[in-house]
């Protein structure tokens, strides 16, 4: 098939999956894999191949960079003692366990080791697509593990290839490979991120900023590959650094554009990849003899079970070495958490890329057999992890009954109160510095206090809802339902919420024009009563003339001047809020993802004030 036909087919399949997934109540990746399997029954479609360089150079850099941008650096530092062994020792243990199973089923030692390297690492894109039902901290730990474990898997893959073609592997060479893979990948990521930082700091164009960000993952991956290091790790390191420095070197316009474009692009690439996985399974099945398929299906099933068992046992055995923060959870919760984490570790794009990278037939230095078996088992393990683990994950989450983590919500509310309070404290100084009239300053102060009261009321309402839920649960446990809880709802706090719109802005109940002018009386037809200049202003016919007309007293401050002052002071307050917010992040008081959420809201408010004409 031609490239355009393949593109249209993939697009239609993704659209079909997006329409069917909500109706079938299945995760979209599962539906896309099933659709890919169905398309594979058509011989012409089955011939669509997925070159390994396509996954490595097109799919992975973009998807991993986005996942890195949305990963919490504080969570990585906090759970580093968990992430490090899970991304190194667990990968090695899983690879050798799979290699042992492969040998038992007749695979050569070298081929079995390559297979183990391919299926050992859980994949970040699969985890991100299917793991958002997990508790927040567990999801971030699993995501960080998945972003950093590929370096270990690629080292094992290189060792297996070297052994398969008759190369000589020594402990010194293995150690050097690990150093180059991890050290080189980290160095490449840091170098590319530093260059991007210098460029971003010198430009302000939205197009230039986002083009630079788009090139970062590809350049980092390429640089790492040139020096023989882990391109995946280079992309992840560059992404984490860019995520941390982005608020200081990008603009509100560029961030909002990126927040819209990147998720959509990653969605399309992710969807196309899951469809192609289904097609690849069909292709490999038709390339292997019927007699060997039964044995390979059994190998696939045993390997998949072994990966789950090894992951569970490794977590259980390494518990004494984890750094604990906060109160120790009950024994039952810890056991259920390990089961949940085990099923959440799914395989995906990286495993398929490693398997497809295995050379076919003769290579330099010798011959390599068993590529079809490696691809078949790897694709089968990916399919099982997506279809079985992904399908069971919601039920396992409900069974695990992990206590709800309110930490992120509490940090969000704390940050909102802190930046609002800091802005109000700096209001008088900013008004003097920017030559703002008392009228505009007082209006903004009133809005600020209303928003602060609304935030406080929302926090109290959430805490009261938690208390009410605990009381109802206790009543149900005791068999004595609360008669009041059944027929009444807690009345919403009115304090601070009056006059607040859905976007958190304060409404003016006096009926004024919103600029501190005289009240406007609206008739039934929407017309207003008042002076002739006021009617002309509302109709919008001669807005500029009103400010300079001879009928207007030039000693009074015009609406244009008040609006300009209002905008100038609000933008200064937004800058102050961002300063305080980044200070809370530096001190570790709030998480990176909380900062990202609040920054997005501040960016939207800035764009609303400046208007679309500010876009370059």
**What pLDDT digit, counting tens, does each position of 327-348 carry?**
566 677 788 888 998 998 888 8
Backbone angles phi and psi of 292, in degrees to 5 = -85, -15
What is the Cα–Cα distance from 392 to 344, expressed in whole angstroms? 10
What is the Cα–Cα distance from 580 to 597, expressed in whole angstroms? 15
What is the Cα–Cα distance from 405 to 204, expressed in whole angstroms? 39
pLDDT at 163: 81
CB 218 within 8 A of CB 177: no
Alpha carbon 174 to chain centroid distance? 34
- Where b means 16+ CB within 10 Å and e means fewer, 346-365 reads bbbbbbbbbbbbbeeeeeee
Structural domains of the chain ordered from first start? 3-323+330-403 (1.20.1530.20), 408-485+493-508+534-614 (no CATH)
List, for residues 179-191, the tens digit of each pLDDT value: 888 899 999 999 9
pLDDT at 462: 81
What is the Cα–Cα distance from 391 to 461, expressed in whole angstroms? 35
pLDDT at 500: 39
Tokens at residue 207, please? 């197009």
List, for residues 564-601, the tens digit of each pLDDT value: 888 889 999 999 999 999 999 999 889 998 999 999 99
pLDDT interval class at 325 (50, 70, 90): low
CB 275 within 8 A of CB 360: no
pLDDT score of 46 more than 90: no
Backbone angles phi and psi of 526, in degrees to 5 = 90, -5
Helix (H) or strand (E) holding 367: strand 366-368
- Where b means 16+ CB within 10 Å and e means fewer, 494-504 reads eebeebbeeee
* Mean pLDDT across 150-168: 81
227 burial type by CB count under 10 A (0-12 exposed, 13-18 middle, 19+ buried) = middle
What is the Cα–Cα distance from 389 to 344, expressed in whole angstroms? 7
Q: Count, in order, helices (H) and strands (E) of the chain.
A: 30, 4
Q: What is this structure's pTM?
A: 0.77
pLDDT at 596: 92
Helix (H) or strand (E) holding 366: strand 366-368
pLDDT at 238: 95
For 522, the 3-state DSSP assignment is strand
pLDDT at 361: 58
What is the Cα–Cα distance from 258 to 177, expressed in whole angstroms? 36
What is the percent of the chain with per-residue pLDDT over 70, rounded to a whole number? 81
DSSP state of 50: -
522: which strand partners? Answer: 528
DSSP state of 359: P
First to last CA, the chain: 40
- Highest mean pLDDT among 126-135, 296-305, 509-518 belongs to 296-305
């Amino acid at each position: 098939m031609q490239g355009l036909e393949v593109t249209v087919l993939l697009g239609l399949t993704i659209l079909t999956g997006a329409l069917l997934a909500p109706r079938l109540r299945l995760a979209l990746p599962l539906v896309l894999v099933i659709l890919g399997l169905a398309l594979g029954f058509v011989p012409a479609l089955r011939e669509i191949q997925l070159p390994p360089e396509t996954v490595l150079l097109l799919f992975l850099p973009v998807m991993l960079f986005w996942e890195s941008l949305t990963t919490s650096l504080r969570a990585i530092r906090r759970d580093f003692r968990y992430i490090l062994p899970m991304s190194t020792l667990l990968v090695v243990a899983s690879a050798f366990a799979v290699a042992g199973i492969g040998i038992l089923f007749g695979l050569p030692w070298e081929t079995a080791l390559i297979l183990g390297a391919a299926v050992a690492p859980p994949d970040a894109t699969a985890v991100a697509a299917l793991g958002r039902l997990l508790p927040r901290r567990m999801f971030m730990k699993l995501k960080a593990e998945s972003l950093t474990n590929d370096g270990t898997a690629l080292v094992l893959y290189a060792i297996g290839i070297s052994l398969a073609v008759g190369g000589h592997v020594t402990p010194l060479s293995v150690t050097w490979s690990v150093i180059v893979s991890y050290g080189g990948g980290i160095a490449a990521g840091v170098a590319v991120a530093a260059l991007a930082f210098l460029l971003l700091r010198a430009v302000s164009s939205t197009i230039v900023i986002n083009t630079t960000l788009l090139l970062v993952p590809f350049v980092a991956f390429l640089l790492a590959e040139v020096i023989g290091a882990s391109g995946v790790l280079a992309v992840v390191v560059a992404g984490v650094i860019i995520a941390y420095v982005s608020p200081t070197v990008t603009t509100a316009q560029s961030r909002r554009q990126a927040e819209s474009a990147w998720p959509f692009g990653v969605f399309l690439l992710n969807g196309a990849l899951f469809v192609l996985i289904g097609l690849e399974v069909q292709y490999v099945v038709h390339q292997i003899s019927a007699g060997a398929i039964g044995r390979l299906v059994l190998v696939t099933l045993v390997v998949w079970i072994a990966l789950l068992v090894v992951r569970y046992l490794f977590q259980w055995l390494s518990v004494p070495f984890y750094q604990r923060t906060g109160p120790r959870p009950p024994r039952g919760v810890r056991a259920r958490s390990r089961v949940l984490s085990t099923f959440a570790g799914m395989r995906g794009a990286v495993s398929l890329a490693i398997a497809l990278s295995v050379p076919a037939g003769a290579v330099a230095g010798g011959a390599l057999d068993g590529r079809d078996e490696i691809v078949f088992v790897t694709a089968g393990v990916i399919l099982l992890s997506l279809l079985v683990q992904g399908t069971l994950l919601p039920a396992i989450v409900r069974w695990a009954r992990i206590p709800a983590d309110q930490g992120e919500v509490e940090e969000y509310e704390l940050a909102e109160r802190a930046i609002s309070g800091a802005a109000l404290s700096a209001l008088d100084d900013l008004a003097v510095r920017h030559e703002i009239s008392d009228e505009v300053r007082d209006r903004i102060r009133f809005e600020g206090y209303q928003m602060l009261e609304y935030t406080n009321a929302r926090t109290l309402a959430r805490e009261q809802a938690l208390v009410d839920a605990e009381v109802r649960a206790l009543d149900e446990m005791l068999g004595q339902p609360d008669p009041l809880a059944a027929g009444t709802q807690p009345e919403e706090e009115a304090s601070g919420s009056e006059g607040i719109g859905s976007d958190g802005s304060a409404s003016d109940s006096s009926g004024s024009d919103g600029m501190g002018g005289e009240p406007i009386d609206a008739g039934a037809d929407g017309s207003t009563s008042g002076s002739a200049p006021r009617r002309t202003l509302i109709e919008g016919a001669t807005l500029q003339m009103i400010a300079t007309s001879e009928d207007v007293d030039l000693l009074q401050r015009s609406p244009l001047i008040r609006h300009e002052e209002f905008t100038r002071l609000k933008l200064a307050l937004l800058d102050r809020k961002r300063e305080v917010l980044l200070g809370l992040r530096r001190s570790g008081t709030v998480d990176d993802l909380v900062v990202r959420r609040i920054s997005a809201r501040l960016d939207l408010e800035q764009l609303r004030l400046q208007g679309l004409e500010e876009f370059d």
